[in-house]
């Protein structure tokens, strides 16, 4: 295995950016997304908080960057869930398959694998799923407060299981089924979790 190295370390932006990302992963895994502050992350990275804002913008954006997440749920979730409410389940499954079947899916599978064997990555992934995906889905669909948590976690259970079965364990015929077959088969189950009687 050969590691390619730049001959001279660039002292400026790249190193600062990287140390902010390292600090962010640590603080997010330790405190959770809600408990982590830009201020604490800047402190951990030994930089000024203004610099963190300058490089990454919001805490959400910094979180995505720290997880190497190529897609932004702030755009994707509303796109999947707006439209007729009784077809939200199918649209959600279709979105998930289009993301995971794309080149970005390779990174997502790697993240899922890593989260299964590493407690630290598992925490980051949980924070990501809960704060970036599920919370947005709850808001978008206007689910009532007391049920919203259970409903969205049940949706997560089916989506995570689809990913594990299709991309990791590769159980047939789910592994090579065409997306629309899975949308028709799984969509109504996700729909029940979203809006049906539990």
Residues of this chain that bind a copy of itself (CB under 8 A): 112-117, 122, 125-126, 129-130, 149-150, 153-154, 156-162, 164-166, 168-174, 177, 181, 184-186, 188-189, 192-193, 198
The separation between the first and the last C-alpha atoms of the chain, rounded to the nearest angstrom, is 52
Contacts by residues 114-120 (CB-CB < 8 Å, ≥ 24 positions apart): 120/29
Is residue 61 within 8 Å of residue 74, measured between CB atoms? Answer: no
* Shortest Å distance, C-beta 89 to a copy of itself: 11
Q: Looking at beta carbons only, is 11 or 172 nearer to a copy of itself? A: 172
* Shortest Å distance, C-beta 9 to a copy of itself: 32
Of 40, 47, 61, 59, the residue nearest 17 (C-alpha): 47
Q: Looking at beta carbons only, is 50 or 185 nearer to a copy of itself? A: 185
The CA distances from residue 180 to 35, 38, 123, 186, in Å, are 40, 42, 32, 10
* Shortest Å distance, C-beta 33 to a copy of itself: 13
Q: Looking at beta carbons only, is 50 or 153 nearer to a copy of itself? A: 153
């Amino acid at each position: 295995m050969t590691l390619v190295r730049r001959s001279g370390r660039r002292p400026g932006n790249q190193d600062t950016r990287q140390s902010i990302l390292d600090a962010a992963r640590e603080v997010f895994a330790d405190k959770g997304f809600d408990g982590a502050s830009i201020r604490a992350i800047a402190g951990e990275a030994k930089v000024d908080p203004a610099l963190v804002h300058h490089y990454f913008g919001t805490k959400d954006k910094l979180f995505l960057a720290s997880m190497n997440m190529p897609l932004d749920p702030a755009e994707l979730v509303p796109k999947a869930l707006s439209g007729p409410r009784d077809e939200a389940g199918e649209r959600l499954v279709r979105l998930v398959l289009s993301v995971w079947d794309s080149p970005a899916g390779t990174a997502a599978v790697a993240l899922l694998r890593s989260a299964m064997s590493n407690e630290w990555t598992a925490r980051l992934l949980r924070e990501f799923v809960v704060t970036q995906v599920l919370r947005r889905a709850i808001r978008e669909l206007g689910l009532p407060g007391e049920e919203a948590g259970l409903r969205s976690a049940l949706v997560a259970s089916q989506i995570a299981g689809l990913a594990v079965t299709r991309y990791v364990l590769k159980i047939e015929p789910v592994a090579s089924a065409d997306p629309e077959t899975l949308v028709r088969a799984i969509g109504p189950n996700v729909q029940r979790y979203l809006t049906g009687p539990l």
